Structure 1
């Protein structure tokens, strides 16, 4: 029996070609749903790079404001009337709201008025970020708003068990898991490039210590610097080079702290895959991730990954088998885990082989299928619409 295709509206502040984990995930989900025969309308703010008149039936653009700290991105304005007009003309079967700003809130309210079921996604720990930017007093208010927002939907999708437990503890309801996948053909050890390593100033036997991600306060990059310096002191006889891929507000200060490190800026596609595969050890000190797509990308590229035991790392790394883990907040444990991999050449070789073997089985097809199942589940009449109060 053929399953009927769905008309899905996906609402997000960010989407490819923007470079971040949320955009990457949403791009994969939309591509996968359309590949399965579903009609997906993308609703997002107009970006500076959008050509005039770019909108069509599959794309609804709204106005936006510049997002502080994220050059080039727009924070969507409230667009309830525009959404109502669009969805009254062509009613979606279900909404997926990926971001909780004014655009997401207006979509939530429009859905309530039209009685369209809503699935929300918890993609970013904004309530943790506030403390890193000197506005820690807002953390409780933001947490309360996020709980109110997500509890208005039929279900909220979270990417990891650790995130699910944390949100349940904070009173979030109807949480379901939707993990992340990786393109293991793009991210592959075969993309290792001797020419790129030579450009980095590395010879055979030298160690490239890699970090990929946004260079921002919430990524705990002080530990990255501390870890690299500790590794240099522990291995004075070996040539180690720190390679950072990505950009962000902390880049200038990191370049001052780490004058010998190489800053490669933003990389995409095949170039990004070559940067991953040309590394040896991957350090991921972040404690603020809902998932951390870069962990899976590094594993697929055959790197020895060192991370804290949470989010993607907790799901995909077995300590000593395909990487190394430290307890959350245990900075000394993190440094020791990295040092342990470097001290054991054969153990690092095995970990890299096992990392690739594990990540090769973590494709996007099963994730997209589960996503579709969650959307269909939200449409069932037994899932009563939560009560929508006028204000959080």
Structure 2
């Protein structure tokens, strides 16, 4: 199956290099990994490289090739991930990848996920002596406790450690993640980071009509949560925080509103436990940008993020972020200056910080201004350039790499 799409993807000259990106998830799926891979892929294309994107076929697609100029999407067979039916595990594709990479050899391979497809890509690339680097995009080892699979945590960690230590380099999203992975026995780690689109996510997209739709009058405060509604996101703290602070606000005759953007297996339960909240479902693009900008505070209780793109999106939108001191929040927020940070797992501090943001209008205003300023320093082009550099370094012959290190 060969199809052609957007003409803008077609190269106007011979691509400089060819790289393969292997991932179990990609747009239009809505999650941080798909968003990041889309940015990296488009960035490589704009920097005049050819990309082989190897991923499972999604709903309505069939395995095969989607050829779009410099972007060659190779769709393989997959199966739904237990607990995440909208996501796919890519099935092992050793024969397909072996044939593809012998005919069209990439200069380096990037493995974004560690499922059966990633495992087969790692084996095939190593057998063909194609340089491989990987990214640690999802803390699967932390998810096991939330799905009654605590006994699987250690075997899963052993596999992840083996998988990533087989690659030349493992790219991390944040400094806190890098330190944690080093402690868990992963080697050859390098920081990639994440960017944010400060034109899309902008305070100018604030929409009074949308706030009115939420029931918010001028002067009311809107608390926003954006993310997957799943067990590993620590949403019990969102419920506890809201119930506590809403009651306090009512006693002071202050109007608070809670808006939840996202979908997932815990959505029905959350709707029951947060009867006064507004649930918007999953949003992307301009509707998502408007939701961010039309709120006032961002409540993010997750402790399992590798980065947390929603944190920097909220900051870019001019929101005061309340989060734990990890991942993106640790890297880009100064406590009570450009957001609020609670020590990891200190839930009372998390609630106290949110209480301060609600009650202190001047402090909140200052935090929102500094948050936007910090987010505007996080340019995706710098992240793509760094990613390109890691791929080019991996593609160098071993002797050239040794010489480069010695300089």
Q: TM-score, normalised by structure 2?
A: 0.92
Aligned to 1:80: 94
1:114–1:384 CA distance, 2 compared to 1 (3 A): farther
> 3-state DSSP class of the match of 1:66?
strand
Deviations, residues 82-106 of structure 1 (Å, cap 9, x unaligned): 0000010010000000000000000
The answer as to whether partners of 2:62 and 2:75 remain within 8 angstroms in 1 is no
TM alignment of 1:315-330, pairs within 5 A: 315-330=331-346
Moved more, 99-108 or 354-363: 354-363
Q: How many residues align?
A: 383
1:95–1:192 CA distance, 2 compared to 1 (3 A): same
1:166–1:13 CA distance, 2 compared to 1 (3 A): same
Q: Say whether 1:112 aligns with 2:126.
A: yes
Aligned to 1:160: 174
Distance 2:186 2:16 in 1: 30
Match of 2:288 among 247, 259, 272: 272
Distance 2:81 2:149 in 1: 16
- Unpaired runs of 5+ residues, structure 2, are 1-14, 402-407
The answer as to whether partners of 1:182 and 1:364 remain within 8 angstroms in 2 is yes
Q: Say whether 1:122 aligns with 2:133.
A: no
State the Cα distance separating 1:74 from its structure 2 match.
1.6
- Unpaired runs of 5+ residues, structure 1, are 386-392
Aligned to 1:14: 25
Deviations, residues 9-40 of structure 1 (Å, cap 9, x unaligned): 00000011110000000000000010000101
Distance 1:54 1:269 in 2: 27
Distance 2:339 2:188 in 1: 33
The answer as to whether partners of 1:212 and 1:246 remain within 8 angstroms in 2 is yes
State the Cα distance separating 1:53 from its structure 2 match.
5.7
Deviations, residues 227-254 of structure 1 (Å, cap 9, x unaligned): 1112113222111111000000001111
1:53–1:156 CA distance, 2 compared to 1 (3 A): closer
Distance 1:161 1:357 in 2: 21
TM alignment of 1:1-392, pairs within 5 A: 5-50=16-61, 55-56=66-67, 58-236=72-250, 237-382=253-398
The answer as to whether partners of 2:63 and 2:74 remain within 8 angstroms in 1 is no
Distance 2:390 2:324 in 1: 29
Distance 2:356 2:148 in 1: 35
Deviations, residues 181-217 of structure 1 (Å, cap 9, x unaligned): 0000000000000000000011001111000000000
The answer as to whether partners of 1:99 and 1:121 remain within 8 angstroms in 2 is yes
Deviations, residues 367-388 of structure 1 (Å, cap 9, x unaligned): 0000011111222333899xxx
State the Cα distance separating 1:291 from its structure 2 match.
0.3
The answer as to whether partners of 1:159 and 1:291 remain within 8 angstroms in 2 is yes
Aligned to 1:389: none
> 3-state DSSP class of the match of 1:32?
helix
The answer as to whether partners of 2:56 and 2:63 remain within 8 angstroms in 1 is no
